[in-house]
Each structure stands twice: as structure tokens, then as C-alpha cells.
């Protein structure tokens, strides 16, 4: 085991060893861990990434949509239910992907398998592990949202070429969930009970009432503000206006700004929570 330091002249300099890479370089090393793991399971995830959108757009968009359309679609802005629903589902797909990637995988890494603790013994710092996982989640978001877009176009559910711009918006929507959820999942010490609560009282109500399936204006007036503060509503609204070709710059900027702010708060929180959990 020869190393440069062992040849160092006595009493002189203690070499600092290989210079640690910059923050992003270190995060990419952590990202590779998730990638090597993903190599074993990617096929299965592709099937479900395709099947999910096909089932939803088929059953809800085409099936239920034919009923909705036959009663007039003025409240949907005069477009078919399929065209109304698809971009909303695209944003919701971002949220769903974020939930799947952020809660259990992070908890497994810190509690069940302790792969985070193993990585913390290397030059990687807790923040690198956090950003590495966010990078991987971003990759998964891009994959799922692009697959969704392809299915959506195949169903003829996109009405404007601006729908391409909905892809990064749906990814950002996902990140607005992934960053805070990552930051939260790593703090869980005992068990995964909190995650069931998040799925039951977070994901499902958001999915149903954030304007994905019907306009938020159909909700009672007193509850609407609640929908407006949820990140999903902003993602749904912007994806929809892009896909329908009705987006305006100011509104788009507002939605993107809100989603980015939530994601940045999550990133700052995760930097802290990862550190507190791994450096005890």
C-alpha cells in the first residue's frame, strides 16, 4: 500500500491527497450509485411508465371523455375532455414519479440498507448524496414525462407544439415534490409510517383536486385557495395552457417561479437534513 504521503519528507507538508472534486462532480459520483441500481430494474419501470398513461388516457380521457364531451365542454374551455385531461395528467405524472423515487428509496438507503452511511465514509458529503439522488430523480422524471408525452401525442391529445415546453414544466413540478420529500424522508428514524400518510392524505387528494380531472373553478369557493397553493395545481395549469396553446408569458412565469421556489426551498432543506442525519 504505497501512497504519496508515505514518501513525504519528515516534518514537512502533509499532502492533502487527491483534491476533492467540486460539488457537482461529487454529486455525480453519488448519482452513479442510483444508476448502477437502476440497471437491474429499468425494464420493469419502462413497462409501467408506458402502461400507466395508456390506461389513464384510454379509460378517463377517451372513455369518460366521450360522456363529458356529449354534454358540452364550455367549462373546459371548449376543448375535448381528452385534450383537457392529458396535460394535467402529465404534471401529475411528475408528482407521482417524485413520490415513488423520493420516499422509500431514500428511507431504504438511510435505514434499511445503510448505503448512505457507507457512502458518508468516503469523500462524499451528505449534500453530495442528496444532490446525487436529486439528479437521479430528475433523470427518472425526464424519462417518465417524455414517455407520457409520446403516449399523449399518440392519443391525439396535444393541440399545440408548445406541448414540448410542458415537458420541463412537468419535470419541475416533480422536483418541487422530490426535493422537499427527499429532505423529509431522510429524517425518518424508526419506520415508514409517515409515507403512507403522505400517499393517503397528500398524493391522492392532490391528484384528485388540483385541477387534473376537472377545473378548480368547480370546487367550492372557500377551498379553491388551498388548491392554488399546491405545487401540483401550478404544474397542471401551466402544462395545460401550453398543450392547448393558450399560455401567456406572465402566467407561465408565475407558475414556473412558484414551482422553482418550492424546489429551491426543498434543496436548501435537504442540505441540512441529510447533514443532520448522517453526521451524528
Partner 1 sequence: MPLGRVADVPDPDVLIRAKGLTKRFGDFTAVSGIEFKLRRGEAFGFLGPNGAGKSSTMRMIACVSPPSGGELTIFGLDPVADGAAIRSRLGVVPQEDTLDVELTVRENLLVYGRYFGLRRPVIAERTTRLLDFVQLTERADDQVEPLSGGMKRRLTIARSLINEPQILLLDEPTTGLDPQARHVVWDRLFRLKQQGVTLILTTHYMDEAEQLCDRLVVMDGGKIAAEGSPRELIEAYSTREVLELRFAVAEHDQAAQKLAHAPADRMEVLADRILLYVPDGDAALDAVRGLGLEPLTSLVRRSTLEDVFLRLTGRRLEDG
Give the footprint of partner 1 on this chain (CB under 8 A).
1, 3, 5-6, 8, 10-21, 25-26, 29-30, 32-33, 36-37, 40, 113-115, 117-125, 278-280
**C-alpha cell of residue 190:** 424508526
Please enumerate in sequence order all residues whose Cβ is within 8 A of that of 9, keeping only pairs 6 or more positions apart, or say none: none
Q: How far is CA 83 from CA 151, 157, 243, in A?
A: 13, 5, 8
Residue number with CB closer to partner 1 (36 or 74): 36
Q: Name the residue nearer to partner 1 (CB basis): 1 or 250.
A: 1
Q: How far is the CB of 280 from partner 1 (least distance, A)?
A: 6
Least spacing, CB of residue 190 vs partner 1, in Å: 16
Asked if residues 71 and 123 have their Cβ atoms less than 8 Å apart, the reply is no
As measured in angstroms, the least distance from the Cβ of 195 to partner 1 is 20
The nearer residue to partner 1, 222 or 279, going by C-beta atoms, is: 279
How is residue 248 written as a grid cell?
401567456
How many angstroms separate the most distant Cα atoms in the chain?
88
Q: How far is CA 245 from CA 115, 163, 209, 250, in A?
A: 46, 8, 23, 14
CA angle 48, 50, 55 (to 5 degrees): 90
CB of 12 to partner 1, least distance (A): 8
Euclidean distance between the first and the last CA atom of the chain, given in angstroms as a whole number: 31
Query: For partner 1, which is the closer residue by CB, 119 or 149?
Result: 119
**Least distance in Å: CB of 10 to partner 1?**
5
Instruction: Output the smallest distance, CB 3 to partner 1, in A.
Output: 6
Of 115 and 271, which has the nearer Cβ to partner 1? 115
Please state, in angstroms and rounded to a whole number, the distance separating the CA atoms of residues 52 and 60: 12
Q: 28 or 146: whose CB is closer to partner 1?
A: 28
- CA torsion 101-105-107-111 (nearest 10°) is -170
Amino acid at each position: 500500500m504505497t501512497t504519496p504521503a508515505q514518501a513525504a519528507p519528515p516534518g514537512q507538508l502533509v499532502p492533502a491527497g487527491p483534491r476533492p472534486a467540486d460539488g457537482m462532480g461529487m454529486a455525480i459520483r453519488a448519482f452513479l450509485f442510483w444508476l448502477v441500481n437502476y440497471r437491474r430494474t429499468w425494464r420493469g419501470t419502462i413497462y409501467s411508465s408506458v402502461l400507466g398513461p395508456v390506461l389513464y388516457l384510454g379509460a378517463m380521457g377517451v372513455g369518460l371523455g366521450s360522456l363529458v364531451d356529449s354534454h358540452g365542454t364550455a367549462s373546459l374551455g371548449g376543448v375535448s375532455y381528452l385534450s383537457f385531461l392529458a396535460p394535467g395528467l402529465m404534471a401529475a405524472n411528475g408528482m407521482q414519479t417524485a413520490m415513488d423515487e423520493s420516499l422509500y428509496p431514500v428511507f431504504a438507503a438511510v435505514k434499511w440498507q445503510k448505503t448512505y452511511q457507507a457512502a458518508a465514509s468516503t469523500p462524499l458529503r451528505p449534500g453530495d448524496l442528496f444532490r446525487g439522488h436529486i439528479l437521479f430523480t430528475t433523470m427518472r422524471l425526464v424519462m417518465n414525462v417524455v414517455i407520457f408525452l409520446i403516449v399523449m401525442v399518440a392519443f391525439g391529445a396535444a393541440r399545440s407544439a408548445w406541448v414540448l415546453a410542458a415537458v420541463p414544466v412537468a419535470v419541475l413540478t416533480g422536483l418541487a415534490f422530490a426535493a422537499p420529500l427527499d429532505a423529509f424522508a431522510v429524517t425518518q428514524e424508526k419506520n415508514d409510517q409517515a409515507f403512507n400518510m403522505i400517499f393517503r392524505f397528500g398524493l391522492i387528494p392532490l391528484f384528485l383536486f388540483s385541477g387534473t380531472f376537472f377545473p378548480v373553478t368547480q370546487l367550492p369557493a372557500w377551498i379553491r385557495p388551498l388548491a392554488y397553493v399546491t405545487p401540483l395545481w401550478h404544474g397542471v395549469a401551466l402544462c395545460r395552457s401550453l398543450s392547448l396553446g393558450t399560455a401567456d408569458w406572465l402566467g407561465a412565469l408565475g407558475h414556473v417561479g412558484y414551482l422553482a421556489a418550492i424546489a429551491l426551498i426543498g434543496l436548501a432543506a435537504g442540505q441540512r437534513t441529510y447533514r443532520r442525519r448522517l453526521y451524528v
